[in-house]
Amino acid sequence: MTGFFQMLGRPVVELIRHLGELAQLVGEVALSATRHRVRWKLVIHHLVTIGFGSQLQVIVTGAFTGAVFAAQVYYKFNQLGFQSVVGGIVALAMCRELGPVLTGLMLTSRVGAAIAAEIGTMKVTEQVDALRALGVHPVDYLVTPRMIAMIASMPILIAESIMFGMWASKMIVVTLYKVPEAFYMDQLEKNTDLTDMAFGVTKGLVFGILIVLISCHQGLRASQGAVGVGRGTTAAVVISSLAILVVNFFLTIALNFIWPVARV
Protein backbone atom coordinates (compact mmCIF):
# COMPACT_ATOMS: atom_id res chain seq x y z
CA MET A 1 0.00 0.00 0.00
CA THR A 2 2.87 2.33 0.83
CA GLY A 3 4.40 1.66 -2.59
CA PHE A 4 1.10 2.57 -4.26
CA PHE A 5 0.99 5.96 -2.54
CA GLN A 6 4.64 6.53 -3.42
CA MET A 7 3.87 5.81 -7.07
CA LEU A 8 0.81 8.08 -6.87
CA GLY A 9 2.84 10.82 -5.25
CA ARG A 10 5.56 10.99 -7.91
CA PRO A 11 3.33 12.40 -10.67
CA VAL A 12 1.87 14.92 -8.21
CA VAL A 13 5.33 16.08 -7.16
CA GLU A 14 6.40 16.26 -10.81
CA LEU A 15 3.31 18.31 -11.67
CA ILE A 16 3.92 20.73 -8.81
CA ARG A 17 7.56 21.10 -9.82
CA HIS A 18 6.54 21.66 -13.45
CA LEU A 19 3.99 24.32 -12.48
CA GLY A 20 6.56 26.01 -10.26
CA GLU A 21 9.06 26.19 -13.13
CA LEU A 22 6.39 27.62 -15.42
CA ALA A 23 5.47 30.23 -12.80
CA GLN A 24 9.12 31.20 -12.48
CA LEU A 25 9.37 31.52 -16.27
CA VAL A 26 6.28 33.75 -16.28
CA GLY A 27 7.94 36.04 -13.76
CA GLU A 28 11.15 36.18 -15.77
CA VAL A 29 9.28 37.00 -18.98
CA ALA A 30 7.28 39.75 -17.26
CA LEU A 31 10.47 41.22 -15.80
CA SER A 32 12.22 40.99 -19.15
CA ALA A 33 9.40 42.67 -21.07
CA THR A 34 8.96 45.53 -18.59
CA ARG A 35 12.47 46.29 -17.35
CA HIS A 36 14.92 45.03 -19.95
CA ARG A 37 15.54 46.09 -23.53
CA VAL A 38 13.15 44.38 -25.95
CA ARG A 39 14.90 42.98 -29.02
CA TRP A 40 12.52 44.30 -31.65
CA LYS A 41 14.39 42.76 -34.60
CA LEU A 42 13.77 39.33 -33.10
CA VAL A 43 10.15 40.25 -32.40
CA ILE A 44 9.62 41.18 -36.06
CA HIS A 45 11.34 37.97 -37.18
CA HIS A 46 9.04 35.87 -35.00
CA LEU A 47 6.01 37.91 -36.09
CA VAL A 48 6.71 36.81 -39.65
CA THR A 49 7.32 33.20 -38.59
CA ILE A 50 4.36 32.88 -36.22
CA GLY A 51 1.83 35.28 -37.67
CA PHE A 52 2.36 35.45 -41.42
CA GLY A 53 3.68 31.90 -41.66
CA SER A 54 0.61 30.42 -39.94
CA GLN A 55 -2.07 32.19 -41.95
CA LEU A 56 -2.62 29.52 -44.58
CA GLN A 57 -3.03 26.72 -42.02
CA VAL A 58 -5.34 28.84 -39.86
CA ILE A 59 -7.51 29.95 -42.80
CA VAL A 60 -7.88 26.41 -44.14
CA THR A 61 -8.67 25.07 -40.67
CA GLY A 62 -11.27 27.76 -39.99
CA ALA A 63 -12.93 27.54 -43.39
CA PHE A 64 -13.34 23.78 -43.48
CA THR A 65 -14.39 23.64 -39.82
CA GLY A 66 -17.11 26.20 -40.48
CA ALA A 67 -18.19 24.39 -43.65
CA VAL A 68 -18.46 20.93 -42.12
CA PHE A 69 -20.13 22.23 -38.96
CA ALA A 70 -22.66 24.16 -41.04
CA ALA A 71 -23.43 21.06 -43.09
CA GLN A 72 -23.96 18.91 -40.00
CA VAL A 73 -26.17 21.51 -38.30
CA TYR A 74 -28.20 21.98 -41.48
CA TYR A 75 -28.81 18.24 -41.89
CA LYS A 76 -30.35 18.03 -38.43
CA PHE A 77 -32.16 21.36 -38.30
CA ASN A 78 -33.62 20.84 -41.76
CA GLN A 79 -35.56 17.90 -40.33
CA LEU A 80 -37.02 20.22 -37.69
CA GLY A 81 -37.77 23.07 -40.10
CA PHE A 82 -35.24 25.50 -38.57
CA GLN A 83 -32.84 25.89 -41.50
CA SER A 84 -32.58 29.66 -41.09
CA VAL A 85 -30.96 29.47 -37.62
CA VAL A 86 -27.89 27.64 -38.94
CA GLY A 87 -26.00 30.91 -39.50
CA GLY A 88 -26.37 32.06 -35.90
CA ILE A 89 -25.40 28.69 -34.44
CA VAL A 90 -22.30 28.29 -36.62
CA ALA A 91 -21.16 31.86 -36.01
CA LEU A 92 -21.60 31.47 -32.26
CA ALA A 93 -19.69 28.18 -32.22
CA MET A 94 -16.88 29.56 -34.39
CA CYS A 95 -16.49 32.71 -32.26
CA ARG A 96 -16.67 31.13 -28.83
CA GLU A 97 -15.22 27.64 -29.26
CA LEU A 98 -14.17 26.21 -32.60
CA GLY A 99 -12.17 29.20 -33.86
CA PRO A 100 -9.91 29.79 -30.83
CA VAL A 101 -9.54 26.13 -29.81
CA LEU A 102 -8.70 24.73 -33.25
CA THR A 103 -6.41 27.66 -34.03
CA GLY A 104 -4.63 27.08 -30.73
CA LEU A 105 -4.20 23.38 -31.45
CA MET A 106 -2.95 24.14 -34.97
CA LEU A 107 -0.38 26.62 -33.64
CA THR A 108 0.65 24.09 -31.00
CA SER A 109 1.64 21.59 -33.68
CA ARG A 110 3.21 24.15 -35.98
CA VAL A 111 4.72 26.86 -33.78
CA GLY A 112 5.03 25.12 -30.41
CA ALA A 113 6.90 22.15 -31.83
CA ALA A 114 9.26 24.45 -33.75
CA ILE A 115 9.97 26.56 -30.66
CA ALA A 116 10.69 23.53 -28.47
CA ALA A 117 12.92 21.91 -31.10
CA GLU A 118 14.89 25.09 -31.84
CA ILE A 119 15.51 26.06 -28.21
CA GLY A 120 16.12 22.42 -27.23
CA THR A 121 18.78 22.11 -29.93
CA MET A 122 20.43 25.30 -28.67
CA LYS A 123 20.32 23.92 -25.14
CA VAL A 124 21.95 20.55 -25.89
CA THR A 125 24.60 22.15 -28.14
CA GLU A 126 25.46 24.59 -25.31
CA GLN A 127 24.42 27.68 -27.27
CA VAL A 128 22.22 28.73 -24.34
CA ASP A 129 25.28 28.55 -22.07
CA ALA A 130 27.16 30.63 -24.63
CA LEU A 131 24.48 33.33 -24.38
CA ARG A 132 24.97 33.44 -20.62
CA ALA A 133 28.74 33.64 -21.08
CA LEU A 134 28.22 36.67 -23.34
CA GLY A 135 26.07 38.35 -20.69
CA VAL A 136 22.75 37.73 -22.49
CA HIS A 137 19.90 36.29 -20.46
CA PRO A 138 18.31 33.39 -22.38
CA VAL A 139 14.80 34.57 -21.49
CA ASP A 140 15.49 38.02 -22.96
CA TYR A 141 16.80 36.51 -26.20
CA LEU A 142 14.74 33.36 -26.67
CA VAL A 143 11.44 33.67 -24.82
CA THR A 144 10.34 37.31 -24.61
CA PRO A 145 10.48 38.09 -28.37
CA ARG A 146 8.45 34.96 -29.12
CA MET A 147 5.92 35.86 -26.43
CA ILE A 148 5.43 39.39 -27.78
CA ALA A 149 5.12 38.08 -31.33
CA MET A 150 2.56 35.47 -30.29
CA ILE A 151 0.47 38.01 -28.34
CA ALA A 152 0.47 40.33 -31.36
CA SER A 153 -0.30 37.57 -33.88
CA MET A 154 -2.95 35.56 -32.04
CA PRO A 155 -5.89 38.03 -32.26
CA ILE A 156 -5.40 38.39 -36.02
CA LEU A 157 -5.15 34.64 -36.56
CA ILE A 158 -8.23 33.97 -34.42
CA ALA A 159 -10.21 36.64 -36.28
CA GLU A 160 -9.18 35.14 -39.63
CA SER A 161 -10.18 31.66 -38.54
CA ILE A 162 -13.59 32.89 -37.37
CA MET A 163 -14.30 35.04 -40.42
CA PHE A 164 -13.35 32.38 -42.94
CA GLY A 165 -15.34 29.81 -40.99
CA MET A 166 -18.42 32.02 -41.13
CA TRP A 167 -17.85 32.75 -44.82
CA ALA A 168 -17.54 29.04 -45.65
CA SER A 169 -20.66 28.34 -43.61
CA LYS A 170 -22.59 30.91 -45.61
CA MET A 171 -21.36 29.46 -48.89
CA ILE A 172 -22.50 25.97 -47.89
CA VAL A 173 -25.90 26.90 -46.44
CA VAL A 174 -26.94 29.68 -48.82
CA THR A 175 -25.32 28.55 -52.07
CA LEU A 176 -25.48 24.77 -51.76
CA TYR A 177 -28.60 24.21 -49.65
CA LYS A 178 -30.52 27.25 -50.95
CA VAL A 179 -31.44 28.75 -47.59
CA PRO A 180 -32.53 32.37 -48.24
CA GLU A 181 -29.63 34.70 -47.51
CA ALA A 182 -31.90 37.22 -45.76
CA PHE A 183 -33.02 34.59 -43.24
CA TYR A 184 -29.47 33.36 -42.74
CA MET A 185 -28.06 36.85 -42.11
CA ASP A 186 -30.97 37.84 -39.89
CA GLN A 187 -30.33 34.94 -37.50
CA LEU A 188 -26.59 35.55 -37.60
CA GLU A 189 -27.00 39.20 -36.61
CA LYS A 190 -29.54 38.40 -33.88
CA ASN A 191 -27.48 35.69 -32.22
CA THR A 192 -23.93 37.04 -32.48
CA ASP A 193 -22.20 40.38 -31.96
CA LEU A 194 -18.74 41.79 -31.29
CA THR A 195 -18.70 40.44 -27.74
CA ASP A 196 -18.63 36.93 -29.19
CA MET A 197 -15.56 37.87 -31.25
CA ALA A 198 -13.98 39.35 -28.09
CA PHE A 199 -14.77 36.06 -26.34
CA GLY A 200 -12.78 34.09 -28.92
CA VAL A 201 -9.90 36.55 -29.12
CA THR A 202 -9.50 36.50 -25.32
CA LYS A 203 -9.32 32.72 -25.36
CA GLY A 204 -6.81 32.86 -28.19
CA LEU A 205 -4.52 35.21 -26.28
CA VAL A 206 -4.48 32.86 -23.29
CA PHE A 207 -3.83 29.85 -25.53
CA GLY A 208 -0.98 31.67 -27.28
CA ILE A 209 0.69 32.51 -23.97
CA LEU A 210 0.36 28.88 -22.86
CA ILE A 211 1.91 27.60 -26.11
CA VAL A 212 4.96 29.86 -25.85
CA LEU A 213 5.50 29.25 -22.13
CA ILE A 214 5.23 25.47 -22.32
CA SER A 215 7.25 25.14 -25.53
CA CYS A 216 10.06 27.41 -24.34
CA HIS A 217 10.11 25.65 -20.98
CA GLN A 218 10.46 22.24 -22.62
CA GLY A 219 13.20 23.55 -24.87
CA LEU A 220 15.18 25.12 -22.02
CA ARG A 221 15.08 21.92 -19.95
CA ALA A 222 16.11 19.62 -22.83
CA SER A 223 19.07 17.30 -22.23
CA GLN A 224 20.64 14.06 -23.49
CA GLY A 225 21.26 15.24 -27.04
CA ALA A 226 18.94 14.54 -29.94
CA VAL A 227 16.84 12.12 -27.88
CA GLY A 228 16.14 14.81 -25.32
CA VAL A 229 15.21 17.33 -28.02
CA GLY A 230 12.73 14.85 -29.49
CA ARG A 231 11.21 14.14 -26.09
CA GLY A 232 10.97 17.83 -25.28
CA THR A 233 9.28 18.61 -28.61
CA THR A 234 6.76 15.80 -28.13
CA ALA A 235 6.09 16.88 -24.55
CA ALA A 236 5.61 20.49 -25.65
CA VAL A 237 2.93 19.54 -28.19
CA VAL A 238 1.13 17.11 -25.86
CA ILE A 239 1.20 19.34 -22.77
CA SER A 240 0.21 22.45 -24.73
CA SER A 241 -2.71 20.65 -26.37
CA LEU A 242 -3.96 19.29 -23.05
CA ALA A 243 -3.50 22.67 -21.38
CA ILE A 244 -5.57 24.36 -24.11
CA LEU A 245 -8.42 21.87 -23.72
CA VAL A 246 -8.42 22.05 -19.91
CA VAL A 247 -8.03 25.83 -19.67
CA ASN A 248 -10.69 26.27 -22.36
CA PHE A 249 -13.29 24.76 -20.03
CA PHE A 250 -12.50 27.17 -17.19
CA LEU A 251 -12.29 30.15 -19.56
CA THR A 252 -15.70 29.24 -20.98
CA ILE A 253 -17.25 29.24 -17.50
CA ALA A 254 -15.53 32.49 -16.48
CA LEU A 255 -16.06 34.45 -19.70
CA ASN A 256 -19.75 33.56 -19.95
CA PHE A 257 -20.28 35.57 -16.76
CA ILE A 258 -18.60 38.54 -18.47
CA TRP A 259 -20.01 38.15 -21.99
CA PRO A 260 -23.22 36.11 -21.91
CA VAL A 261 -24.48 34.62 -25.17
CA ALA A 262 -26.49 37.12 -27.19
CA ARG A 263 -30.21 36.29 -27.24
CA VAL A 264 -32.89 37.07 -29.73
Mean pLDDT (the chain) is 87
pLDDT tens for 231-248 read 889 999 999 999 999 999
With b meaning 16 or more CB within 10 Å and e meaning fewer, what string describes 56-91?
A: ebbbebbbebbbebbbebbeebeeeeebbbbbbbbb
Stronger pLDDT, 211 or 38, i.e. the higher one: 211
Stronger pLDDT, 78 or 208, i.e. the higher one: 208
For residue 195, the model assigns a pLDDT of: 86
Amino acid symbol at 137? H
Q: At what angle do helices 55-80 and 86-93 cross, to 10 degrees?
A: 140
> Could you tell me the pTM of the whole model?
0.89
pLDDT tens for 4-37 read 445 556 677 777 887 888 888 888 888 888 887 8
For residue 5, the model assigns a pLDDT of: 46
The model's confidence at residue 3, banded by pLDDT at 50, 70 and 90, is: low
